[in-house]
Chain A
Amino acid sequence: MQYRHVQVIDGKGGLRGIAVDGHGEIYAAGDSEIKVFDAAGRLMRRWPTARPAQSVAVAGDGAVYAGELGQIEIFDGAGKLRGAWRDAGLLRRVTAIGFTQDSVLAGDSADRAIRRFNRGGRFLNNIGKDNPLGGLLIPNGVVDFGVDAEGIVFAANPGKHRVERYTPAGELLGHIGRFDGIDSAGFTGCCNPTNVAIGDAIYTAEKAGPRAKAYDFSGNLLGVIATGLFDANCKNMSIAVDSRGRVYVVDTVKLAILVFERVSA
């Protein structure tokens, strides 16, 4: 599978987490604000967050969830604050947010775990914490995950060079990935992949040297989406995929979103 680089979107300042909604609008968390770009990369709207935004996700009803330090803020699509979930213990540093049909998931990098809440914000269970190491291995400092249509959680476990599959209740189902510093089918360095997105495939982003790849759900490499296009000092590059299979990757040094399109099956 091959991809081509089709677009660079200027992040208009700080860039951390990104998400793409069902209409192809791109949401970016960075500095203390949420920015929304249209598919052509034009900045459509932006609004402030109470604290520096680490991550962003858009729910099926259009609500925008911003992950911050100690809290999640929930906005409508226009940026009007609907509410906030505050928990200094469970939401210390929210670096990823996702949804199952009936729950909201938040990656708390301070505790190396994914928290599962019901839609009203009541804590249900942890994901990725019930293991001998007490959590996901993230020397890179970011918990990231994606969720498939069935509600299966795909969590990056970079210290193990794996993407792990969990049920929403936290049961480990298996993993893909292995260390390899030569074969591009593996993940290299101390800790990769740092970021993951789920669509029709498993999409991963790595640091040192920065690259994005696609895997099938059995763990076979489908293709290297990009390498060499990112600044070599990039780290924790948020990755997202839209309904058309376009892949979005943050260059954390140039503060831009690079967009890739599939050119062959």
Chain B
Amino acid sequence: MSEDLTRRDLFATVARGTVLVALGGGAGFLVKKAGGQVVWQVNASRCINSRLGDLGVEACNLCTTECVVALSAVRAVNEYSKCGRCNICPAYFNISSAVNELGQPSEKLCPRDAIARRPIGKVDPEDPANNFYEYIIDEEKCDGCGKCVLKCKEPLGLGSITLRVRYDRCVNCNRCSISKACPQDALMQVPVGQALQPAGIERPG
């Protein structure tokens, strides 16, 4: 009798455990969906285009070529609080091109002409150097090639432009094809809240 009870107890225990594990997993999934969902994001401190210390490299362009989304889900984003609002922005102009009659580089850098430049504040129409400028990235044109990001980083620029995954475009693949190709392992899955933090900031733990 006691042996039967023991066996029944064992079955019951296993059954309860199985239910708890199943519920736990489901609960975890729900929590993940509700608040802890992971998404892909570019870690600016790993991306070769924005990582400090790496100079003399070319923009790698893999975010443009490897993404499964047409024109890529990655965009260059200008963080205005960091931008110097310079007259001659190396991310806007090709600073190695010939100087024009205004004393500025004659060519733009972006191959898709995705950056607009406009004077802000009290504008001096006579002397372009007497103005601050705002640089606005047109996300309909930008394909995340990273050329402007590379030119914006220190010490040439101030590092205000970084590559970011745009979630209205990203289809959140289980295995992001950019992450598979990225030699710097700069595409990372992070909780939504962390992904929306300014680029390059990683929370401890």
Chain B residue with minimal CB distance to A191? B86
Known: A133-B130, A207-B155. A159 touches B87 (CB 8 A): yes
Main secondary structure of the interface of B (DSSP, over half): loop
Distance from B158 Cβ to chain A, minimum over Cβ atoms (Å): 6
Of the candidates B52, B56, B86, B157, the one having the most CB atoms from chain A within 10 angstroms of its own CB is B86
The docked-state distance in angstroms from the alpha carbon of A99 to that of B156 is: 31
Q: Do B96 and A182 have beta carbons less than 8 Å apart?
A: yes
Instruction: List A contacts of B86 (CB < 8 A).
Output: 137, 139, 159, 190-191
Q: Do A159 and B84 have beta carbons less than 8 Å apart?
A: yes
The yes or no answer to A132 lying at the interface (CB within 8 A) is yes
List B residues 130-187 near A (Cβ within 8 Å). 130-132, 154-158
Known: A132-B124, A139-B84, A178-B103. A233 touches B155 (CB 8 A): yes
Q: Do A190 and B124 have beta carbons less than 8 Å apart?
A: no
The yes or no answer to B22 lying at the interface (CB within 8 A) is no
Q: Do B156 and A189 have beta carbons less than 8 Å apart?
A: yes
The yes or no answer to A35 lying at the interface (CB within 8 A) is no
The yes or no answer to B13 lying at the interface (CB within 8 A) is no
Distance from A54 Cβ to chain B, minimum over Cβ atoms (Å): 18
Q: Mark B76-117, 1 if CB is under 8 A from A, else 0.
A: 000000001111111000011111000111000000000000
Chain B residue with minimal CB distance to A252? B155
The yes or no answer to B55 lying at the interface (CB within 8 A) is yes
Distance from A133 Cβ to chain B, minimum over Cβ atoms (Å): 6
Chain B residue with minimal CB distance to A181? B95
Known: A159-B129, A232-B55. A190 touches B99 (CB 8 A): no
Q: Do B130 and A132 have beta carbons less than 8 Å apart?
A: yes
Q: Do A190 and B90 have beta carbons less than 8 Å apart?
A: yes
Instruction: List B contacts of A188 (CB < 8 A).
Output: 95
Report how many A-B pairs have Cβ atoms within 8 Å: 71
Q: Out of B87, B97, B129, name the residue touching A181 (CB < 8 Å).
A: B97
Instruction: List A contacts of B155 (CB < 8 A).
Output: 207-208, 210, 233-235
Q: Mark A151-162, 1 if CB is under 8 A from B, else 0.
A: 000000001111
Q: Do B98 and A182 have beta carbons less than 8 Å apart?
A: yes
Chain A residue with minimal CB distance to B97? A181
Chain A residue with minimal CB distance to B86? A190
The yes or no answer to A223 lying at the interface (CB within 8 A) is no
The docked-state distance in angstroms from the alpha carbon of A154 to that of B97 is: 29
Instruction: List B contacts of A218 (CB < 8 A).
Output: none
Instruction: List A contacts of B85 (CB < 8 A).
Output: 139
Q: Out of B56, B131, B158, name the residue touching A139 (CB < 8 Å).
A: B158
B→A interface (CB under 8 Å) = 52-53, 55-56, 84-90, 95-99, 103-105, 122, 124, 129-132, 154-158
Known: A159-B86, A189-B90. 4 other contacts (CB 8 A): A132-B130, A159-B129, A182-B96, A190-B156
A-B contact pairs, 19 of them (CB 8 A): A132-B131, A137-B86, A139-B84, A179-B88, A179-B103, A179-B105, A180-B99, A182-B98, A182-B99, A188-B95, A190-B90, A190-B157, A191-B84, A191-B88, A207-B155, A232-B56, A233-B52, A233-B53, A233-B55
